[in-house]
């Protein structure tokens, strides 16, 4: 902890002394967060991660505007390093971040339906995790032709401009895009406390939808906007309910499937299109992992054959494999089918809002209406200024000689403009324009040609004034522009549509080999699964010091294993979850394998396949509960069940019986009781307390219970009593020999 500073006027101040340094200042956590964290959070939300209504984040906009100012919309390509360097005048976040942004907007990267950057060189691929792009000094780029629609009329005051970070130049706050870019190209961003994930749609469909909504705000979106459209293609699994929710709320998810072809001659499946949320490497690794786990026995080999022709994953099939069934299985088990989660979070007027498709297009329309209105007002102002000048020129048409005489007879240059104003009754602007006319243009023909524009300008001004004052006319202009964009840049859909109701979902049944096994369970909770052949060849069982085998059972590899714990819980595993082992190993520690709670121990193993028979739980208070095995069967394959048995008294023993028989119980007093399990009625409730079987005196408890076998007792009738009973102490005939074994 820093020491508190001593306040003393006599202490000399060392060189570089900072007032208050080392002083401990107490601050409220809330105040510190508001002061330090909130500005950062707001900056990330507003200036970095969330796209605006023009469809761009600030980093995208700064890069594209820099390229526009460099003349890369009409000229040839230039080195990417040059572009990155120029962009740093607007975006001071380092060259690597800027180049990464340009890569993702490029045609070569193939991440966008309609790329904004026309690239040359290695720009990597969005569908490959390991295919890195070349350094900026090796690649070249320019703006794609589509960017004409982004920067159209940007110099006509269509959008606001602000100073850059060092106030040396200006940049646009938005781009006046003439089509809804926010829905045409995908956009993903993670801010602080919120995120954005916008899926792409087909450009022509988006334009038609925007037109339909301008003509009828209640138009059905599905008539013109079928579904999202990804640059990587694939099949979109169309569920009408899910898609309606996305269109209405801007949130939801839908499934995207890969596209494939089957080459019968080669016996392989070629996957050529994959979901946008995965990569070639992730798919190949998952398939290899499943093959190693013996869960994909139909696959002989898998290769990544992606080359200059595009994406390609080849899967070689084993002889006799049905490719359709295999692909259904792969769709279930691998990212060949994946979900795309939508979150249409967009900044509108500086406020993040999650909007549905209809609201998003309405907001874009409002933005575009304002852009066109400002453009029209700019043109109107320019034409009025030109008309004003031509009217002044028209005034001197009446007497050109007078104008020449005024200029010639004026002694001082500064008086020329005032004298022309007085001589012809024109204002200063008009007089300046007349005074700047060249001598060669002071002829009647030139002046008549110029003044003939007055009538056409008056007509154009009237049209523009009508356009500025009419929102419906502005929308007509926007509709015409959208139709032109759709016609010029529209492309066929890349993602095909599969209707969810028509898809047959394959039920994947794990082909697990079934064979006889021997199961061993110890008092300390260790478990072994050993095949009969291995057991015959094995020597002594290896156990932890002080441990002993409490259960040795015969079962099969596909048997369900129910491990009951001392915390009234049961954990369900399968025999196939365990590797075949040998007697010379310690085995699997069940509390760790089953992920039991801390301090929880496994006390009993019950193997079953058909969930037949019943379980007998014996408690120290002398009660016994009979629970049918079917009570532990679940359809959801849950691995953990609570309240597996009663917790009212400590558990003394558990027995799993396929049918009723005789059971011998023993108390701490040495008394024994032999009874038939048919005397106890089964219960449907797992945590039932059961019925009193053995009466135990104070300070005594029921200790053990075993299935009675012939010969265990010399006089079994002596220990059979009417339940509940105290039982009987063993006679001399039982204790003298070795007949009594439990």
Q: What is the pLDDT of residues 134-152, one digit of tens each?
A: 999 999 999 999 999 999 9
Please give the angle made by the CA atoms of 220, 221 and 223, to the nearest 5 degrees.
Answer: 75
| Mean pLDDT for the chain overall | 89
In the prediction, which pLDDT does 551 show? Answer: 93
In the prediction, which pLDDT does 511 show? Answer: 62
On the question of pLDDT at 81 being above 50, the answer is yes
On the question of pLDDT at 683 being above 90, the answer is no
pLDDT-derived band of residue 12, with 50, 70 and 90 as boundaries?
low
In the prediction, which pLDDT does 8 show? Answer: 45
On the question of pLDDT at 694 being above 50, the answer is yes
Residue 295, beta-bridge partner list: none
In the prediction, which pLDDT does 507 show? Answer: 61
In the prediction, which pLDDT does 492 show? Answer: 95
What is the rounded distance in angstroms from the CA atom of residue 111 to the CA atom of residue 125? 8
pLDDT-wise least confident of 85-99, 446-460, 531-545, 556-570: 446-460
What is the rounded distance in angstroms from the CA atom of residue 694 to the CA atom of residue 329? 55
On the question of pLDDT at 716 being above 90, the answer is no
pLDDT-derived band of residue 443, with 50, 70 and 90 as boundaries?
confident
Interior/surface letters 692-707, b for 16+ CB within 10 angstroms, e for the rest? ebbbbeeebbbbebee
pLDDT-derived band of residue 24, with 50, 70 and 90 as boundaries?
confident
- Give me the mean pLDDT over the 354-375 stretch: 96
Residues 6+ apart with CB under 8 A from 78: 70, 72, 140, 141, 142
DSSP, collapsed to helix, strand or coil, labels residue 72 as coil
pLDDT digits (tens, 9 = 90+) for 536-547: 888 888 999 989
pLDDT-wise least confident of 3-12, 81-90, 283-292: 3-12
pLDDT-derived band of residue 514, with 50, 70 and 90 as boundaries?
confident
Give first-to-last CA distance, the chain, whole Å: 67
- Give me the mean pLDDT over the 648-662 stretch: 92
Domain ranges of the chain: 56-176, 259-335, 362-489, 512-533+557-604, 610-742
Residues 6+ apart with CB under 8 A from 459: none
In the prediction, which pLDDT does 411 show? Answer: 84
More confident residue, 86 or 308: 86
In the prediction, which pLDDT does 735 show? Answer: 65
In the prediction, which pLDDT does 434 show? Answer: 84
On the question of pLDDT at 442 being above 80, the answer is no
pLDDT digits (tens, 9 = 90+) for 586-645: 999 999 999 999 989 999 999 998 899 999 999 999 999 999 998 898 877 778 889 999
In the prediction, which pLDDT does 450 show? Answer: 78
Domains 259-335 and 610-742 belong to one CATH topology: no
pLDDT-derived band of residue 447, with 50, 70 and 90 as boundaries?
confident
Looking at the chain, the whole-number percentage of residues with pLDDT higher than 90 is 64
CB-CB contact of 564 with 644 (8 Å): yes
Write the CATH number of the domain with boundaries 362-489.
Answer: 1.10.268.10
**Class for the domain spanning 610-742:** mainly beta
| In this structure, CATH architecture of domain 56-176 | Alpha-Beta Complex (3.90)
Nearest to 152 by CA among 450, 484, 476: 484
From residue 412, alpha-carbon distances to 58, 406, 424 in Å are 54, 11, 19
pLDDT-wise least confident of 302-311, 391-400, 408-417, 680-689: 391-400
What is the rounded distance in angstroms from the CA atom of residue 207 to the CA atom of residue 177? 12
In the prediction, which pLDDT does 490 show? Answer: 95
Starting at the edge strand that comes first in sequence, how are the strands of the sheet with 313-317 ordered? Answer: 259-263, 268-273, 313-317, 299-304
From residue 415, alpha-carbon distances to 395, 402, 546 in Å are 19, 16, 119
More confident residue, 397 or 409: 409
pLDDT digits (tens, 9 = 90+) for 466-505: 999 999 999 999 999 999 999 999 999 999 999 987 776 6
DSSP secondary structure letter of residue 4: P
CA 698, 704, 709, 712 torsion: positive or negative? negative
What is the rounded distance in angstroms from the CA atom of residue 123 to the CA atom of residue 110? 9
In the prediction, which pLDDT does 257 show? Answer: 95
What is the rounded distance in angstroms from the CA atom of residue 54 to the CA atom of residue 128? 29
pLDDT digits (tens, 9 = 90+) for 294-319: 888 889 999 999 988 899 999 999 98
Strand 161-163 and strand 187-190: pairing? unpaired
What is the rounded distance in angstroms from the CA atom of residue 571 to the CA atom of residue 569? 7
On the question of pLDDT at 259 being above 80, the answer is yes
In the prediction, which pLDDT does 14 show? Answer: 57
In the prediction, which pLDDT does 440 show? Answer: 78
DSSP states along 569-581 = -EEEEEGGGS---
Longest CA span, the chain: 154
pLDDT-derived band of residue 269, with 50, 70 and 90 as boundaries?
very high
On the question of pLDDT at 5 being above 50, the answer is no
pLDDT-derived band of residue 94, with 50, 70 and 90 as boundaries?
confident
**Class for the domain spanning 259-335:** alpha beta
In the prediction, which pLDDT does 711 show? Answer: 82
In the prediction, which pLDDT does 374 show? Answer: 95
CB-CB contact of 443 with 429 (8 Å): no
Q: Which residues are catalytically annotated?
A: 138
- Give me the mean pLDDT over the 43-72 stretch: 94
* Sequence-separated contacts (24+) of 575-579 with Cβ below 8 Å: 575/517, 575/519, 575/529, 575/607, 576/512, 578/527, 578/529, 579/529
What is the rounded distance in angstroms from the CA atom of residue 391 to the CA atom of residue 426? 9
DSSP secondary structure letter of residue 34: I
In the prediction, which pLDDT does 15 show? Answer: 63
Angle between helices 357-396 and 453-468 (to 10 degrees): 150
On the question of pLDDT at 508 being above 80, the answer is no
Please state the pTM of the whole predicted model.
0.71
Q: Where are the beta strands (DSSP E) in 191-285?
A: 195-198, 235-238, 251-257, 259-263, 268-273
């Amino acid at each position: 902890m820093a020491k508190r500073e001593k306040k003393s006027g006599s202490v000399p101040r060392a060189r570089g002394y900072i007032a208050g340094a080392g002083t401990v200042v107490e601050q409220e956590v809330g105040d510190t967060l508001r002061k330090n964290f909130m500005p950062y959070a707001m900056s990330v939300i507003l200036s970095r991660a969330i796209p605006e209504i023009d469809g761009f984040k600030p980093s995208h906009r700064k890069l594209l505007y820099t390229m526009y100012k460099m003349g890369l919309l009409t000229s040839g390509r230039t080195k990417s390093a040059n572009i990155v360097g120029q962009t740093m005048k607007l975006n001071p976040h380092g060259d690597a971040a800027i180049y990464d942004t340009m890569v993702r907007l490029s045609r070569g990267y193939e991440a966008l339906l309609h790329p904004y950057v026309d690239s040359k060189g290695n720009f990597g691929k969005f569908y490959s995790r390991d295919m890195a792009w070349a350094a900026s000094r090796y690649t070249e780029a320019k703006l794609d032709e589509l960017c004409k629609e982004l920067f159209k009329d940007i110099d006509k005051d269509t959008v606001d401009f602000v100073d850059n970070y060092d106030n040396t130049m200006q940049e646009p706050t938005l781009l006046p895009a003439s089509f809804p870019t926010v829905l045409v190209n995908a956009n993903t961003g993670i801010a602080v406390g919120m995120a954005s994930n916008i899926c792409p749609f087909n450009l022509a469909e988006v334009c038609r939808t925007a037109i339909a909504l301008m003509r009828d705000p209640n138009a059905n979106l599905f008539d013109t906007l079928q579904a999202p459209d990804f640059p990587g293609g694939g099949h979109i699994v169309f569920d009408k309910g899910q898609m309606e929710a996305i269109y209405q709320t801007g949130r939801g998810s839908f499934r995207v499937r890969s596209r494939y072809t089957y080459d019968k001659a080669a016996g392989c499946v070629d996957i050529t299109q994959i979901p946008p949320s995965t990569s070639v490497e992730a798919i190949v690794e998952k398939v290899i992992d499943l093959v190693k786990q013996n869960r994909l026995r139909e696959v002989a080999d898998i290769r990544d054959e992606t080359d200059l022709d595009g994406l390609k994953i080849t899967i070689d099939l084993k002889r006799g494999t049905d490719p359709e069934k295999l692909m259904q299985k792969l769709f279930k088990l691998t990212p060949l089918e994946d979900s795309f989660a939508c979150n249409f979070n967009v900044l509108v007027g500086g406020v993040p809002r999650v909007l549905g498709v209809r609201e998003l297009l309405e907001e874009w329309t409002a933005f575009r209406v304002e852009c066109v209105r400002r453009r029209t007002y700019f043109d109107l102002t320019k034409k009025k200024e030109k008309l004003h000048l031509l009217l002044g020129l028209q005034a001197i048409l009446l007497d050109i000689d007078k104008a020449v005489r005024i200029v010639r007879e004026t002694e001082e240059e500064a008086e020329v403009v005032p004298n022309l104003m007085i001589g012809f009754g024109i204002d200063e602007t008009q007089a300046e324009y007349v005074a700047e006319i060249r001598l060669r243009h002071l002829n009647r023909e030139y002046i008549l040609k110029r003044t003939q524009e007055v009538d056409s300008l008056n007509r154009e001004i009237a049209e523009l004034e009508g356009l500025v004052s009419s929102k419906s006319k502005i929308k007509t202009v926007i509709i015409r522009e959208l139709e032109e964009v759709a016609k010029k840049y529209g492309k066929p859909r890349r993602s095909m549509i599969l209707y969810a109701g028509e898809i047959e979902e394959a039920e994947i049944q794990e082909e697990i080999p079934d064979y006889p096994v021997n199961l061993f369970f110890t008092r300390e909770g260790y478990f072994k699964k050993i095949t009969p052949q291995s057991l015959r060849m094995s020597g002594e069982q290896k156990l932890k010091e002080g441990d002993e085998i409490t259960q040795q059972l015969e079962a099969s590899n596909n048997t369900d294993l129910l491990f009951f714990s001392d915390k009234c819980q049961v954990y369900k595993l399968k025999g196939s979850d365990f590797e075949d082992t040998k007697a010379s190993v310690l085995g699997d520690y069940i509390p760790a394998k089953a992920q039991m709670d801390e301090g929880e121990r496994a006390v009993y193993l019950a193997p079953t396949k058909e969930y037949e028979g019943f379980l007998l739980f014996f408690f120290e208070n002398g009660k016994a509960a009979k629970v049918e095995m079917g009570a532990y069967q679940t359809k959801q394959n849950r691995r953990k069940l609570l309240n597996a048995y009663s917790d009212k008294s400590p558990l003394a023993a558990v027995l799993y019986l396929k049918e009723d028989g005789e059971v011998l119980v023993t108390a701490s007093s040495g008394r024994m009781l032999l009874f038939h399990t048919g005397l106890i009625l089964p219960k449907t409730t797992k945590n039932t307390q059961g019925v009193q079987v053995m009466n135990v005196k104070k300070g005594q408890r029921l200790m053990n219970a075993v299935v009675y076998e012939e010969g265990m007792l010399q006089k079994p009738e002596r220990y059979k009593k009417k339940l509940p009973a105290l039982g009987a102490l063993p006679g001399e005939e039982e204790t003298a020999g070795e007949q009594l074994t439990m």
